[in-house]
Each structure stands twice: as C-alpha cells, then as structure tokens.
C-alpha cells in the first residue's frame, strides 16, 4: 500500500478486554508503518477504556449491539458515520464484524479465515494462518498491506490522572509505604481460577518479604477474598470491584509486579511491560494466550493447581 497520502484504518474488535488488549500490537504495527494515518478502534462499552489506552489509536467508537446499534438498522446507523476508510480489520472474522467492515465502505477488509462464518465473502483478504498464538494471528493481518514481518508488541499507556487517583486510594489505606504486588485470582470461567488456600499462602509469603498485596478484580473475586480475610486476617489491600479499567491501569502502575490468572488484567499488565507472573491451568490456553517475553514475564502451567511457593519463587525472579 502506498504511503503518499494519509490513510484511514479501522480495527473492529467487539470481544473481551484481553482480546482488545492483544489488538494493541496490530495498532502499533499499523502506526509504525503508517505514522501519519488515522486509526479508529471500534469496540464495546466495556472494552472502550482499554482501546483508549492504546497509544496508536486516534479515536475509539463504541458499538452498542444490545441497544442503540441493535440489528441491521443499528449496523447501518453506526456504519454511516465512516468516511474514506482504506482498510478495515474485523478481528476474528465474526459475522457482525464482517458486515460492519463491509458497510464502512473500506476498500480492503482483512481478517482470518473462518469456515463457519457465512459472511466471509465480504472480506477482500481472508487469511489462512497456521499460527497458534492469538498475538501472531492478529499481527499477521497487517502483512497484506505492508508486505513485511510484523515487529510490534502489545502496548498500553496509563493516564497520569489515573495513576494519581490510584496512588491516593492506596495512600488512604496506608499501603503507600510498601512495595506492592497486584493479585488477580478469578475470571469468568472457574476452570481458570486460582484457589483461596494458595492465594492466602501467597499473601503470607509476600507479607513476610516486606511487601504487600493489592487484590484486584471484579465481583467474581469477592467471595474468595472474604474467605482469605477470614482465614489470615485483613492483611492485604482489597480493591476488588473498586476500579474501572482505566483506574485498574493506575493501580498496576503503582505496583512492582502483577500475579494474575489468564484474564484481561494479565494482558494489561503485559502490555504495560511490568513484571507479570501468569497462572494457567488449561494447557491449550498457554499455547494461544500466554505471554512470551521472558525478560519480564513468567508463565506457570499446572492442571492440578499451582502452589503459592512456586508462584512466589517466580515472582522473586522478576523483582
């Protein structure tokens, strides 16, 4: 693709936080090759704050599939505001994304090949990749326009005001005098969760080292945190369900490291280039989703459970 005029790129990802965070690498690669281009990111309301933290994204547009943009008329309404789109990337090649990409009028519409999707004929470039890792599959989408091997990684920038708000929350609870380790133990899928016993022991080990744990997450973690508190006392900072995505980034910015199960929080930490220990309990998910840069990440896989001591040893390797 010629670089002699400003291009407009659109990335469509209507999935979860982790998926959107992985797309930051694609966005960075687009801007690396086309620094003067305009890059628009389309996502859902929940993931919008993630997209807003991607440095290479110029504009985030929220697609509300349940209300405002529901059905074909909603799609048409949403797509009508796009003008002069050069390339659109409907990530995962879902039918809704493919149709939306077509309706934007994009000259090229590039996604991965999905045999089950009826709308794949709406794509101009349907890539058949052998790559297993989702980051590779996503980055490869840019090759048809650049003709080069992608070099970018995930990237997420925390706003200064979010880091300051998070620090104030931490200071208010008296934890500002400690080196902090963020902990995320739960997901939407229980098979990917850590357990209360090992989480409690891990907190004890961190405390013994002179550091403290900041427990983050959504309401999925509330019951476990309460169980741990009842067992070992109020010896950690509980910020579960007390942050949005932007403020979560601020909390992580104030921490030395992150220990997390396979969820969006893990991907945000990796994109921030902070030390991350990732806990996996499902083998094939490691191949698809695990961080790979060993300079600041460690991955632990054990289908039968991960001990607190092993987790703490991996943490010490990083900090």
Say whether both 17 and 133 belong to one domain: yes
Residue among 114, 121, 65, 70 at smallest CA distance from 94: 114
Q: Which residues contact 132 (CB under 8 A, 6 or more apart)?
A: 287, 288
Say whether both 107 and 175 belong to one domain: no
Q: Is residue 293 part of a domain?
A: yes
Q: Is residue 105 part of a domain?
A: yes
Task: Report the SS3 class of residue 299.
Answer: strand
Per-residue confidence (pLDDT) for residue 115, from 0 to 100: 67
Write out the residue range of the structural domain in which residue 131 sits. Answer: 8-146
Checking 192-195 for CB contacts under 8 A at 24+ apart, the result is 192/261, 192/262, 192/263, 192/280, 192/281, 192/282, 192/285, 193/220, 193/224, 193/261, 193/281, 194/261, 194/279, 194/306, 195/224, 195/305
Residue 251 sits in a domain of what CATH number?
3.40.50.2000
Q: Which of 111, 146, 181 is the last residue before a domain boundary?
A: 146
Say whether both 198 and 306 belong to one domain: yes
Q: Is residue 1 part of a domain?
A: no
Q: Which of 120, 146, 172 is the last residue before a domain boundary?
A: 146
Task: Report the SS3 class of residue 40.
Answer: strand
Q: Is residue 3 part of a domain?
A: no
Per-residue confidence (pLDDT) for residue 116, from 0 to 100: 73
pLDDT at 269 over 80: yes
Q: Is residue 35 part of a domain?
A: yes
pLDDT at 2 over 60: no
- Across 153-168, average pLDDT: 97
Say whether both 177 and 305 belong to one domain: yes
- Across 198-223, average pLDDT: 96
Say whether both 137 and 14 belong to one domain: yes
Say whether both 121 and 185 belong to one domain: no
Number of folded domains in the chain? 2
In the predicted model, what is the mean pLDDT of the chain?
A: 94
Condensed to tens digits (0 to 9), the pLDDT of residues 275-300 reads 999 999 999 999 999 999 999 999 99
Q: Is residue 2 part of a domain?
A: no
Phi-psi region of 92 (alpha: psi -120 to 50; beta: other; left: phi over 0): left
- Across 178-202, average pLDDT: 96
- Across 54-63, average pLDDT: 97
Say whether both 83 and 178 belong to one domain: no
pLDDT at 4 over 60: no
Per-residue confidence (pLDDT) for residue 315, from 0 to 100: 98
Say whether both 79 and 110 belong to one domain: yes
Say whether both 142 and 178 belong to one domain: no
pLDDT at 223 over 80: yes
Per-residue confidence (pLDDT) for residue 177, from 0 to 100: 96
* Highest-confidence segment of 81-85, 163-167, 219-223: 163-167
Per-residue confidence (pLDDT) for residue 9, from 0 to 100: 98
Condensed to tens digits (0 to 9), the pLDDT of residues 23-46 reads 999 999 999 999 999 999 999 999
Cα first-last separation, the chain: 44
- Angle made by CA atoms 212, 244, 189, in degrees to the nearest 5: 80
Q: 1: pLDDT confidence band, cut at 50, 70 and 90?
A: low
Q: Is residue 71 part of a domain?
A: yes
Condensed to tens digits (0 to 9), the pLDDT of residues 71-95 reads 788 888 888 999 999 999 999 768 8
Q: Which of 146, 180, 200 is the last residue before a domain boundary?
A: 146
Q: Is residue 154 part of a domain?
A: no
Say whether both 121 and 235 belong to one domain: no
Say whether both 138 and 234 belong to one domain: no
Say whether both 281 and 219 belong to one domain: yes
The 180-184 sheet, strands edge to edge: 237-238, 212-215, 180-184, 257-261, 276-280, 297-301
pLDDT at 114 over 80: no
């Amino acid at each position: 693709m010629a670089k002699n005029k400003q291009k407009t790129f659109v990335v469509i990802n209507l999935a979860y936080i982790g998926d959107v965070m992985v797309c930051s690498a694609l966005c960075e690669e687009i801007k690396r090759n086309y620094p003067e281009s305009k890059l628009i990111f389309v996502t859902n309301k929940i993931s919008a704050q993630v997209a807003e933290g991607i440095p290479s994204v110029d504009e985030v547009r929220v697609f509300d599939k349940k209300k405002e943009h529901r059905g074909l008329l909603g799609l048409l309404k949403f797509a009508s505001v796009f003008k002069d789109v050069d390339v659109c990337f409907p990530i995962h090649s879902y039918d809704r994304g493919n149709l939306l990409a077509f309706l934007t009028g994009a000259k090229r519409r590039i996604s991965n090949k999905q045999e089950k999707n009826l709308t794949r004929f709406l794509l101009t470039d349907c890539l058949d990749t052998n790559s297993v890792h989702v980051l590779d599959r996503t980055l490869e989408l840019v090759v048809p326009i650049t003709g080069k091997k992608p070099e970018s990684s995930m990237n997420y920038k925390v706003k200064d005001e979010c880091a300051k708000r998070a620090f104030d929350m931490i200071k208010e609870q008296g934890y500002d005098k400690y080196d902090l380790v963020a902990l995320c133990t739960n997901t939407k899928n229980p098979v990917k969760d850590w357990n209360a016993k090992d989480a409690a022991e891990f907190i004890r080990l961190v405390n013994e080292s002179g550091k403290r744990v900041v427990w983050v997450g959504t309401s999925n973690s509330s019951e476990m945190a309460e169980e741990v508190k009842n067992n070992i006392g109020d010896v950690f900072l509980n910020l579960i369900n007390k942050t949005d995505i932007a403020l979560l980034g601020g909390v992580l910015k104030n921490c030395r490291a992150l220990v997390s199960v396979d969820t969006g929080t893990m991907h945000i930490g990796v994109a921030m280039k902070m030390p991350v220990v990732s806990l996996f309990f499902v083998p094939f998910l490691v191949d698809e989703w695990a961080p790979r840069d060993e300079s600041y990440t460690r991955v632990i896989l054990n289908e039968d459970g991960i001990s607190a001591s092993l987790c703490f040893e991996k943490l010490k390797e990083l900090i």
